Amino acid sequence: MKHDLFVQTLINEFHERKLAHAFLVQTNQYDKTYNSVLNFIKMINCPSVYKDECDICNLCRLVDSGNLPSLIVIEPDGNVIKKEQLLSLKDSFKTKPVFSKYNIYIIKNAELLNSSSANTILKFLEEPEDDIIGFFITNNKDNVMETIQSRCQILFDYYDDVSYLDKLDLTLVFDFLNNYKQAGLLYNKNYLISKFESRVDYLNFLKNLFYVFEHLLDVSLNVTDLKYIELSFLLNKGSDYYISWLNLISKYLRRVNYNINILLSLDSFVLEAQCL
Ligand SMILES: [Zn+2]
């Protein structure tokens, strides 16, 4: 089963017992991210051996129907998330969870927390209890109160539009990876710069590179067979390696949307990639 990158990150942390207490997830597709979070919640709480789409146990059914008492979802009331909503959340979580391992809250549109509602929830973030986990979902983490941002592990859930995959041209990415194989990453900077005419070229390059590492991750997880012989030298590096590439690429993908200097961005991208 293939999971979103950010869910795979959560699963890995969970298995390594390094799960954070609060996550800020930036997404470009709210519903997909929300569903992924729900699936993850089922996965870590399910009393059976969790299979995707578990529909045999009561707990997973309660999550699906929105009736699990230890899962609280907060949506904005009008244009704002009100302090009262968070006060009642705090109240509910005074007691330990009964049916599940964790008390979990999800805050949708976290950018709509204002300073007084954000302050109400700071105690959860500053003195985390082992059995409370929070997810803040937003379309732009930079619009979320700094007090929240700084206390959460930040994750990105990025979806391509499907039409884009039809136009996929991986030549540049294969060249990039081949240069990498032959001469290391730094050589790539000059090569790429000569190929980019605009921000869009850079954006497409990053998207294609993302696609390629996602494919390698799928191969490493036995979800699919290798489609491109050009990538065989990157096989067997372990899923963590591909995930670090994907995280790095997502970071730069977001930045392309800002008014960045492409040369500088590429410069630091290549430097950071070298450390992976
Ligand atoms: Zn279940």
* Chain segment 3-28, per-residue pLDDT in tens: 677 888 898 898 888 899 999 999 98
- Given 133, 157, 181, the domain boundary residue is 157
DSSP letter (8 states) at residue 77: B
Q: Give the residue carrying structure tokens 């109400």.
A: 120
Residue 47 and residue 14 in one domain: yes
d(CA 24, CA 138): 7
Q: Are residues 145 and 63 in the same domain?
A: yes
User: Do 52 and 146 reside in the same domain of the chain?
Assistant: yes
CA of 118 to the centre of ligand 1 (A): 32
Domain containing residue 258? 163-274
Strand ranges across the sheet with 103-107:
71-74, 103-107, 132-138, 22-27, 153-157
For 189-212, the pLDDT digits (tens) are 778 888 888 888 888 889 899 999
pLDDT digits (tens, 9 = 90+) for 36-46: 999 999 988 88
DSSP string, 103-121: EEEEESSGGGB-HHHHHHH
> Residue 47 C-alpha to ligand 1 middle, in angstroms?
6
Asked if 215 contacts 227 with a C-beta cutoff of 8 angstroms, the reply is yes
Q: Are residue 78 and residue 171 in the same domain, yes or no?
A: no
168-188: pLDDT as tens digits: 678 889 888 888 777 666 667
Residues 187 and 268 in one domain: yes
Domain boundary, last residue among 128, 157, 186: 157
208 alpha carbon to ligand 1 midpoint, in Å? Answer: 36
Centre of ligand 1 to C-alpha 68, Å, is 12
* Domain final residue pick, 142, 157, 172: 157
CB 185 within 8 A of CB 274: yes
Please indicate, yes or no, whether residues 111 and 178 belong to a single structural domain of this protein: no
Same-domain status, 13 and 144 = yes
Gap from CA of 57 to ligand 1 centroid (Å): 4
Same domain, 123 and 181: no
What pLDDT score does 161 carry? Answer: 57
What one-character-per-residue DSSP string does 155-191 give? EEE----HHHHHT---HHHHHHHHHHHHH-SHHHHHH
Q: What is the pLDDT of residue 186?
A: 63
Q: Are residues 96 and 213 in the same domain?
A: no
Classify residue 68 by its DSSP letter: -
Burial class from Cβ neighbours inside 10 Å (0-12, 13-18, 19+) for residue 266 reads buried
Question: Is 20 in the same domain as 138?
Answer: yes
Q: What is the count of structural domains for the chain?
A: 2
Q: What is the pLDDT of residue 46?
A: 83
> Is residue 108 domain-shared with residue 229, that is, in the same domain?
no
Q: pLDDT at residue 160 above 70?
A: no
Domain check: are 92 and 215 in the same one? no
73: left (phi > 0), else alpha (psi -120 to 50), else beta?
beta
Ligand 1 centroid–CA 99 distance in Å is 12
CA of 190 to the centre of ligand 1 (A): 52
Neighbouring CB atoms inside 10 A of 122's CB total: 14
Residue in the structure block whose two tokens are 């591909």: 242
Q: Residue 66's domain is classified under what CATH number?
A: 3.40.50.300
Give the per-residue pLDDT at 212: 92
Please report, for the domain that includes residue 265, its CATH number.
Answer: 1.20.272
Two tokens, residue 218 = 């799928």
Query: Measured in angstroms, how far is the CA atom of residue 17 from the centroid of ligand 1?
Result: 20
